[in-house]
Structure 1
């Protein structure tokens, strides 16, 4: 059994073929898709966070709105770039959204991915300390946010407050118990996966990672997951960790599917370069008739290792078509792989 969610990049543009021509279209359709996904049995609605782009950027209003209109589906991010965040203010936003959702938030955070602008976090008022990198800053902010979710008081109360204070140091409010166990670190390398395991965060591994061995993407990702589990166990954490991987998977069951994604069938892993000239490997897309898709996915080692699969969706094609994409996986593929 696996949890199956969708992952939306939240694109919009005034393009004739797009159902999402504006930011309003994307936000409102994201809510509608989450509601419909819950109805058909999808386990999670996850959203990417990108700044300075025609994509979703400020997740908490959207997560709270989905939380208010659904009752079961997990609601999350994949991922929030912590270089742009005030960890304390984010802890308040996250606590409020989680309470609205009844404890269903699953927040993926990370030090961030390649950006639309140069050092965009500086425009938000943040910069690394002397001798640190922006990646260091992102991880430190992630740790600070993670620590705030313990709900421990740390602030000295004013002796003359507007309202009476409880005794002792004050914590941030609202506090949502249990949210700390639902924080995920988005990792693009073996080392950061091990770090997340030691910290006690769940693991999100996307469709790309740094190429650290030259092996196929799914093999490298499976090895990354095993290193994470080893670090988790050695750290002595008491609960079982959650692990998700993302994939572009399309069951070709209609002519429309074949028109949109038939050319994806021969896709293979890709090699590229990320910042600092680091070599990265990008995982292949899967698109085939259901029987063939089942055979191919059964060979994906990382999917087998993970408990959660996030299906990237073409949000620009509208709610109805994306419900069809998700339904096709649940109906034609998941049973054949033992996921349902």
Structure 2
């Protein structure tokens, strides 16, 4: 096995938090238990996806507020909150509140764009303003201003017995430095760098200059750091689906291989008008996965990862996968568990 040029410094995992609509509490409890397990195994970060109007986590900030009270060390992230569904001022308040509750462990990941199934959801989401809503980078810029403590209103002071602030409260020191942008194109990578944000890359990118996933991702990382004030030191976290099978049962191995096999066709060519490229899921022993990661052009550019858990597995499958990642795969990549 080749030696990495630099050891893996931060290890995170990402879960979608699926639940049975007939028993949503059980699914949310499973997510919280996985975050607790991640802390016990030494993971540096636990991240949750969002799923609006689906049977997954619809309110990641609320879930992480609960997780903040059941953990003490592990960082808590969102990958990612689509700002088209959010009011930036209200989201800034929620993020600051959870960051305070967690002791400064929140890592909000955000993105922009029109909400999916826009024509169907617009009447419920923006019944009076759908035609005038802005879904571009300006929405991020507003959020950043509020999180950084810039005025949100020209009114402040005392009114009766109530005291008003002109800035978002509570103030969460350090939070602006822990905001990530989920980008999948060269334009978004450059823009995130110019804003001084951190960059989340995932197993989904846009095929612009190549149809080689690893090369596309590498070029986006390069563009981000070229435009970032901190250059090569700018933080980038890579996200891929990895499924180590070291301690898996024969039944689990068969299920994992079948899962990856069914998803493989979408990875061979760009998909749809946006030319979306998906990374193949990495299934195998930790040694085999480590070999493939060392050969991955984008992985060689990062020292942080957020490995994504597969969508539709059971709780015990996730326990096995997380345990193998923390005890076998990540150490093979030079990582050491958090104290």
Q: TM-score, normalised by structure 2?
A: 0.87
The aligned counterpart of 1:331 is 327
The aligned counterpart of 1:257 is 252
Equivalent in 13, 20, 39 of residue 6 of structure 1: 13
Query: How far did 1:105 drift?
Result: 0.5
**1:316–1:25 CA distance, 2 compared to 1 (3 A):** farther
The aligned counterpart of 1:52 is 53
Asked if 1 retains the 8 angstrom alpha-carbon contact of 2:181 and 2:197, the reply is yes
Point out the more displaced range, 144-153 or 289-298.
Answer: 289-298
Asked if 2 retains the 8 angstrom alpha-carbon contact of 1:51 and 1:57, the reply is yes
The aligned counterpart of 2:79 is 78
**1:160–1:333 CA distance, 2 compared to 1 (3 A):** closer
Give the 3-state SS of the residue equivalent to 1:203 in structure 2: strand
Asked if 2 retains the 8 angstrom alpha-carbon contact of 1:12 and 1:316, the reply is no
Following superposition of structure 1 onto structure 2, how do residues 163-178 of structure 1 map, counting pairs within 5 Å? Answer: 163=161, 165=163, 170-178=166-174
Considering only aligned residues, what root-mean-square deviation do their CA atoms show, in Å?
Answer: 2.5
Asked if 2 retains the 8 angstrom alpha-carbon contact of 1:264 and 1:286, the reply is no
- The count of aligned residue pairs is 322
The aligned counterpart of 2:125 is 124
Equivalent in 239, 245, 260 of residue 246 of structure 1: 239
State the Cα deviation string for residues 167-186 of structure 1 (Å, max 9, x = none).
xx721111111101111111
Separation in 2 of the partners of 1:188 and 1:238? 19
Asked if 1 retains the 8 angstrom alpha-carbon contact of 2:12 and 2:43, the reply is yes
The aligned counterpart of 1:17 is none
**1:120–1:302 CA distance, 2 compared to 1 (3 A):** farther
**1:56–1:118 CA distance, 2 compared to 1 (3 A):** farther
State the Cα deviation string for residues 94-122 of structure 1 (Å, max 9, x = none).
11100000000011100148735646355
Asked if 2 retains the 8 angstrom alpha-carbon contact of 1:32 and 1:319, the reply is no
Query: How far did 1:41 drift?
Result: 0.9
The aligned counterpart of 2:193 is 197
State the Cα deviation string for residues 270-291 of structure 1 (Å, max 9, x = none).
33434xx221111111001232
Separation in 2 of the partners of 1:113 and 1:281? 20
The alignment status of 1:217 with 2:213, answered yes or no, reads yes
The aligned counterpart of 2:3 is none
The aligned counterpart of 2:181 is 185
Separation in 2 of the partners of 1:330 and 1:252? 13
Query: How far did 1:306 drift?
Result: 2.2
The aligned counterpart of 1:37 is 38
State the Cα deviation string for residues 204-252 of structure 1 (Å, max 9, x = none).
11111111123310111011001100000xxx35994321121111112
State the Cα deviation string for residues 42-95 of structure 1 (Å, max 9, x = none).
111111112111111111211111011111111011110101100001111111
Query: How far did 1:335 drift?
Result: 2.2
Q: TM-score, normalised by structure 1?
A: 0.86
**Structure 1: runs of 5 or more not aligned:** 15-20
The aligned counterpart of 1:18 is none
Asked if 1 retains the 8 angstrom alpha-carbon contact of 2:146 and 2:152, the reply is no
**1:316–1:122 CA distance, 2 compared to 1 (3 A):** same
Separation in 1 of the partners of 2:83 and 2:122? 9
